[in-house]
Each structure stands twice: as C-alpha cells, then as structure tokens.
A and B are shown apart, each in its own frame.
Chain A
Amino acid sequence: MQTAVADIKDEQILTLIQKQGQQERGFRLLLQKYQERLYWHIRKLVIDHEDANDVTQNCLIKVFRGIQRFEGNSSLYTWLYRIATNESITFLNKKKKIGTDSIDNKALSLAEKLQADVYFDGNAIQIALQKALQTLPEKQRIVFQLRYFEEMSYQQMSEVLGTSVGGLKASYHHAVKKVERALKAA
C-alpha cells in the first residue's frame, strides 16, 4: 500500500487537489505520501512527540490552505519541507522566548528528557548525537538535519531554505566537524 502511494506522482496529486470535488481525495493522497516524512523531519527538530504532533498538524493544515497558491516554481517535496521547517522554527522560537535555558543546560535537560521519553528508544550514542545537535546554531542544525538525516541534495536544500548552495556546503561542513568533535568527547 505504502509503495503504491509513494509511486503516485506529485503532478497527479496536484491535479486532483485542483479538481472540484476531488480535493479531499487528492489531499488524502498527499498526506499518505508525505505526512510521515514531514513528521520525522519536524520531530528531529522539536524532539518531543507531543510537540511534533502539534507542529505537524499545523503544518499540514497550512499546506492544505496554501496548496491552491502553489505554482510549481519549486517541487512539491521541497515546498512541503519549507513549510515544515518554518513551522518548526516558529515553534522553537516561541518556546525559546518562554524558557531561559542556556545551550549547555538545554543539552543536559534534553538528555534527561530523552531518557524519560516513552517514545524514544535510542542508545547512548544516539542520545550523544542529539545532545551534540542541540549545541549547534539553529541554521547549522537545520542544514545538518536536511543533509545527514533527510539526505537531501544541496539543490533541494537551497529550495527549502532559500540559501545558496555554497553557503549550505559551508554550513554543513562546520556542523559536521562540530558534531564529530562532540561525539568523540562524549
């Protein structure tokens, strides 16, 4: 079933969404094809499942409300990731305004949070990786995530983040070096 949905072309989904009476069917297909990927992308940025659930729902509703204005200048895939990334950043910024944690405290509390999280089953190295990611500046963290976890090409990342390919390569290089150092130290 999942393979069949993954094989459906974005153009077919968009055609259905723009056809009167077929919107629901088209959007359901879009969800089946992309919602998991978007959720995991958001989850790795916001960490907590409940937070990721809220952000993903908001993101998908925004996708539905905005899809009539999607003009196909970028691929549907990168457009969806752009919305998901922006929603996550907005959420994290709101959270940052409420909390006063320093980066070190944030990483420390993240480790405790992950160990107590029923929806996290990672080992010590995976926790160390998440801790290392928390010490990166926001932009580098997102670049690292899109390349390392989502395995996007630089061109796709450029469409998602609106940054030049050269800038992304530099950011990824810095981020990778920092994460490796942090993992060695752990």
Chain B
Amino acid sequence: MGCQDYQEEPNNYYAMSEKEDILRELQDIAPELAKFKEEQEGTGFQVPPRYFRDLTQVVMNEVKEDLQDQPSSLAKPGRWWQALLESVQSLIQPKPALALAFIGLLLAVGFWFGQSNSALDTVNPNLAMNNDDLEAYVLANIDDFETDLLMDMYAETFPEEEEQITEENLDELLQEMDDEDFEDLWDAENFNE
C-alpha cells in the first residue's frame, strides 16, 4: 500500500535500559502483548517524502514572522515578570503617576458611596425602633428638631387640642405626650418610611 519514498518512524530514539525495563514489565503484565511488541517494528504510520524538512521550513517561516511582529518581547531574554515590571515602571513616571493616583481616588470615593447607599438600602428590619425607643430618641435629640416644625406638626396632628402650642409651653407639652401621641406624630410625618 505504501510508497517506498515514504518515511517511517525510526526506532532508535530511546535509551536501551529503559527499553529493557519496559519490555520486562510488559512481559509480566501482558506476555502476549510483549511478544507482539518484540515482533512488530513500527506502527505502520508514514509521512510524505521530505516532510520533516518542509515542516522545519514552515515553522521557521512562522517564527521569523513572529520575531518581526514582536521584536521587543521575543528578542530579549528574560522572564514574564520582567516584562510586567518594565510595564509598571513605565507607568510610574511623574505625570502618569499623578493621573493614576487621581483615578484611584475617584474609584475609592465611588466605591465608598456605593457601599454607603447599598447599606442604607438594606436596613435590617430588626433594627426598627419601638415606641419607647422613639420617645427616648425624640427627647434626647429634641434640640435637633426645629421648634417651628414641631409646633406645626403638633397642630396638624392634634387639631382638636384647645391649647395653642408656643415655644414656652413646648417642653411641657412634650413631657405630657404619651407613647400613642408620639406614634401619631411620627406616623403623620411618615418618619417610618
């Protein structure tokens, strides 16, 4: 079937001692296969005439193209980390370094805001205030509430009250308010949202 010019696989690449070990091992495991191996020369595979010479040429042509395309990375001996180090060093010049620092700062601020918003969006429901907490909070932080705002809120929430709220009696009224009053006040202004 094959042409006489075709080249077959040579059988002399390998060290004799390893060859003998392999044959001995094979004789132990599968004696008939060992016999077959001793009798058969080669595998029957062939290549066209002068194939390997042509292969060298084809590969070397590709290699030359590669060398022309990437002279800096392949012409210099060295390791991958040296190339990486050089890239980093080229970036750490005064102007690029400033630009990098600025971009880094922007990214950090953006990341912090993102984190803050997402934290606000996901309030743990277990942390919601009960009535006692609410009252304690308003009384403790009463100075933070504007008096006018509180007076308006009070008037809107309790329109039936005869007594007009003024700056003078505000403290007294707040002391008189019970839990329900605080809750009504709170609900009226949608503070729970």
**What is the CA–CA distance of A108 and B180 in the complex, to the nearest angstrom?**
88
- Closest Cβ neighbor of B1 among chain A residues: A121
- Among B57-65, B94-102, B132-140, B142-150, the one that faces the other chain is B57-65
Contact A119 B46 (CB under 8 A): yes
**What is the CA–CA distance of A27 and B26 in the complex, to the nearest angstrom?**
36
**What is the CA–CA distance of A150 and B14 in the complex, to the nearest angstrom?**
8
Question: Are A39 and B67 also in contact (CB < 8 A) when A120-B2, A151-B14 are?
Answer: no
**What is the CA–CA distance of A31 and B58 in the complex, to the nearest angstrom?**
11
Residues of A within 8 A of B50 (CB): none
Contact A148 B47 (CB under 8 A): no
Residues of B within 8 A of A39 (CB): 47, 52, 55
Q: How many residue pairs between the two chains, A and B, have CB atoms under 8 Å in the bound complex?
A: 135
Interface size on A, residues (CB 8 A): 53
Contact B43 A126 (CB under 8 A): yes
B6, CB-defined interface residue at 8 Å: yes
Contact B47 A68 (CB under 8 A): no
* B33: contacting residue among A43, A69, A127, A179, CB under 8 A: A179
Residues of B within 8 A of A101 (CB): none
Contact A176 B60 (CB under 8 A): no
**What is the CA–CA distance of A91 and B58 in the complex, to the nearest angstrom?**
20
**What is the CA–CA distance of A61 and B32 in the complex, to the nearest angstrom?**
40
A37, CB-defined interface residue at 8 Å: yes
**What is the CA–CA distance of A60 and B59 in the complex, to the nearest angstrom?**
7
Contact A68 B77 (CB under 8 A): yes
* A27: contacting residue among B9, B21, B43, B63, CB under 8 A: B63
* Chain A stretch 44-98: residues in CB contact (< 8 A) with chain B: 44, 49, 53, 56-57, 60-61, 64-65, 68-69, 71
* A123: contacting residue among B30, B37, B44, B51, CB under 8 A: B44
Contact with B along A99-138 (1 / 0, CB 8 A): 0000000000000001000111111011101100000000
Contact B75 A23 (CB under 8 A): yes
Question: Are A68 and B78 also in contact (CB < 8 A) when A120-B46, A121-B44, A183-B32 are?
Answer: yes
Contact B60 A44 (CB under 8 A): no
A69-B80, A151-B18 given; 10 more Cβ-contact pairs under 8 Å: A19-B77, A28-B56, A49-B46, A61-B62, A64-B66, A120-B1, A129-B40, A150-B14, A153-B18, A176-B33
